[in-house]
């Protein structure tokens, strides 16, 4: 396993990380297998685990906390807040009131004394970044959090956060966590260069694009009953959408590239994400132990420039094939009534 510096933090993390979104009721309800997934990842040399309070409404954090008991010092532990945790309208977002409470709740579920990397899960357009970074900074100075980060921030918000931190004397963001895969390359256009400019680590999620880059979806076959198509709202995942059709057209060519490179589509896709110089670690999101085992060999794959060039010809640099894969859009685009104001 290769280890890389997390930006200029001085912390070294494995080139592959374990994402815990699928541990719990959102994915795998078998607690023993979930624990085995964590242990197998650690035994394989993975030293970073990324979870969030909203994953299975706290169950993921509880599973991770129990699984790393006795090995806590070996783990760079990351979690996130922002999404609703219950019906109370103030149990979400990035206000000081919620950040402090959410952190205490995560510490309790994880059964740890500190969080190595605490991240805001999405940009809160209703809260001043000064408010958010002030609360973040207090958590760092109290010793409950070691580093802070953002997830799926647009580049302009990353810049604003760094400026606010500098001008107000707050702790700056150490990391950003954007989606990144062969099919979702928008981060190459702005987020990666911005993170590099500010010395931030970059943790990328969904390198297999929600299963698309495993080859499980085919134009002439119905999705499997246990696939993500069967587990998420159909609006964002439609096999007949323009984006889905473009992905299906690209898959055959990508599988040929993988075969010529001596690997499979999974290995090609994860190795592609690892290859970008801005990437500190690629977050894997296995739902089963078998899925983890199929992904771990990618740690040893180094793609040649010729292979990367062939991928560029199939999926252009800096582009995202499907609008449904855009993890962040400003309110002025999401809400029709705000588009021309």
Q: How far is CA 187 from CA 115, 156, 179, 182, 242, in A?
A: 26, 12, 7, 11, 21
The whole-number pLDDT of residue 232 equals 55
With a cut of 90, say whether residue 215 has pLDDT above it: no
With a cut of 60, say whether residue 237 has pLDDT above it: no
Question: How does pLDDT run across 92-128, given as a tens digit for each residue?
Answer: 999 999 999 999 999 999 999 999 999 999 999 999 9
- Mean pLDDT of the chain, nearest integer: 93
The whole-number pLDDT of residue 330 equals 75
Q: Which residue has the higher pLDDT, 224 or 178?
A: 178
Q: Write phi, then psi, for 151 (nearest 5 degrees).
A: -135, 125
How much is the average pLDDT of 35-48? 98
Q: Looking at 28-32, 57-61, 85-89, 228-232, which range is the least confident one?
A: 228-232
How much is the average pLDDT of 306-322? 96
Type and span of the H or E element at 49: strand 48-50
The rounded distance, in Å, linking the Cα atoms of 120 and 182 is 25
Reading the block at residue 125, the tokens are: 């357009």
The whole-number pLDDT of residue 231 equals 53
Question: Residues of 133-164 as b/e, b for ≥16 C-beta within 10 angstroms?
Answer: bbbbbbbbeeebbbbbbbbbbbbebbeebbeb
The model's pTM is 0.92
With a cut of 70, say whether residue 180 has pLDDT above it: yes
Look at strands 3-5 and 12-14 and give their pairing: antiparallel
Residues linked to residue 98 through DSSP beta bridges, in sequence order: none
Q: Which residue has the higher pLDDT, 220 or 144?
A: 144
Given the structure tokens 């919620």, which residue do they identify? 98
Confirm whether 55 is a catalytic residue.
yes
The whole-number pLDDT of residue 142 equals 98
The whole-number pLDDT of residue 225 equals 60
Question: How does pLDDT run across 191-206, given as a tens digit for each residue?
Answer: 999 999 999 999 999 9
- Assign 216 a pLDDT band (cuts: 50, 70, 90): confident
With a cut of 90, say whether residue 218 has pLDDT above it: no
- The domain defined by 3-338 folds into TIM Barrel (3.20.20)
Q: Which residue has the higher pLDDT, 234 or 51?
A: 51
Q: Looking at 134-148, 162-176, 285-299, 319-333, which range is the least confident one?
A: 319-333
Choice among 55, 180, 198, 217 that is catalytic = 55
Give the CA angle between residues 152, 156, 160 to the nearest 5°. 105
Question: Hey, where are the domains in the chain?
Answer: 3-338
- Assign 243 a pLDDT band (cuts: 50, 70, 90): confident
The whole-number pLDDT of residue 278 equals 98
With a cut of 70, say whether residue 233 has pLDDT above it: no
Question: How does pLDDT run across 133-142, given as a tens digit for each residue?
Answer: 999 999 999 9
The whole-number pLDDT of residue 217 equals 82
Q: Looking at 212-226, 228-242, 262-276, which range is the least confident one?
A: 228-242
How much is the average pLDDT of 203-232? 77
The whole-number pLDDT of residue 323 equals 84
């Amino acid at each position: 396993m290769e280890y890389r510096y997390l930006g200029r933090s001085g912390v070294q993390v494995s080139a592959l990380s374990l994402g815990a979104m699928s541990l719990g009721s959102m994915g795998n309800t078998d607690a023993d297998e979930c624990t085995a997934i964590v242990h197998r990842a650690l035994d394989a040399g993975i030293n970073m685990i990324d979870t969030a309070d909203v994953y299975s409404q706290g169950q993921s954090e509880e599973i991770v906390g129990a699984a790393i008991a006795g090995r806590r010092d070996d783990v760079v532990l990351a979690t996130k807040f922002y999404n609703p945790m219950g019906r109370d309208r103030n149990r979400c977002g990035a206000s000081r009131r919620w950040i402090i409470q959410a952190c205490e709740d995560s510490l309790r579920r994880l059964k740890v004394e500190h969080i190595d990397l605490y991240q805001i899960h999405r940009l809160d357009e209703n809260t001043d970044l000064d408010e958010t970074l002030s609360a973040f900074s207090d958590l760092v100075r109290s010793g409950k959090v070691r580093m802070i980060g953002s997830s799926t921030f647009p580049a302009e918000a990353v810049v604003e956060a760094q400026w606010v931190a500098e001008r107000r004397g707050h702790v700056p963001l150490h990391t950003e966590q954007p989606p990144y895969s062969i099919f979702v390359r928008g981060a190459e256009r702005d987020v990666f260069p911005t993170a590099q400019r500010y010395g931030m680590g970059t943790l990328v999620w969904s390198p297999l694009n929600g299963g698309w880059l495993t080859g499980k979806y085919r134009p002439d076959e119905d999705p499997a009953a246990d696939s993500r198509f069967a587990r998420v709202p159909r609006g964002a995942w439609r096999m007949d959408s323009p984006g889905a059709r473009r992905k299906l057209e690209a898959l055959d060519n990508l599988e040929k590239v993988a075969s010529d490179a001596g690997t499979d589509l999974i290995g090609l896709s994860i190795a592609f994400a690892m290859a970008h110089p801005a990437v500190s670690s690629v977050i894997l999101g296995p739902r089963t132990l078998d899925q983890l085992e199929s992904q771990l060999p990618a740690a040893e794959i180094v793609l040649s420039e010729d292979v990367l060039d062939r991928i560029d010809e199939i999926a252009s640099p800096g582009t995202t094939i499907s609008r449904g894969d855009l993890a962040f859009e400003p309110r002025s685009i999401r809400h029709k009534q705000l588009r021309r104001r």
